[in-house]
Amino acid sequence: MRAMMRTIMIAMTRATSTAAFLFVVTPPMADAQTKALPAVDIPAAAIQDRLRPRKPGELPNLRVVDAGGHNVGVGVLYRAEGDKQTAALHYKVSEVYHVIKGSAAFVTGGTLVNAKVRETASLEVSKEDGPGSSGTAIQGGVTHQLKAGDVIVIPAGTPHWFSKIDGSISYLVIRVDPSRVVQLQ
């Protein structure tokens, strides 16, 4: 009888310890599932369609989604040699560029030349890349030679500018917006 009581006590202790461990270590599943957001896919055809000059009124972002605590925008941009290239600085939005086609000299850091703050009500601010400043060039900074396949990360607050484009360049841009300043699309 004693042996059986001892076995029951050991089993109960192990079960209690295991339950306590799971309660402390394992996050509540119901909570995680109720906060789950839908995944968003962007077909290759939608990306391929944007490897060209932008149509009038067309936004560069294909989608801007709620990613749980921050917004994420996905867009495609095309830039051609000879077109005016504006230098930019986004106050709150970081960007990641993945070059799909072409090559260019891309400057980061330094100081914007002839900087002007973007209008709060502009499409650039509300639908593209949030509040910031634009300029005609960058003084100082570091030049990166980008080509197809390259990726560059531009933290919020970092001036950036295509100083020279070799023919044309097309790139996928991922915009991380922790302040949720860019509208969902």
Residues 57 and 121 in one domain: yes
Residues 6 or more apart whose CB falls under 8 angstroms from that of 57 comprise none
Structural contact between residues 96 and 173, judged by C-beta atoms closer than 8 angstroms: yes
The total number of structural domains that make up the chain:
2
Domain that holds residue 172: 44-177
Q: Please report whether residue 134 resides in a domain.
A: yes
Q: What is the pLDDT at residue 33?
A: 53
Q: Please report whether residue 84 resides in a domain.
A: yes
Residues 96 and 159 in one domain: yes
**Is the alpha carbon torsion for 24, 26, 30, 32 positive or negative?**
positive
**Average pLDDT for consecutive 10-residue bins of the chain (185 residues)?**
45 40 42 75 95 92 94 96 96 98 98 96 90 97 98 98 98 97 92
Q: What is the pLDDT at residue 34?
A: 58
- In DSSP notation, 30-65 reads HHHHHT--------HHHHHHTSSPPPTT--SEEEEE
| Model pTM score | 0.80
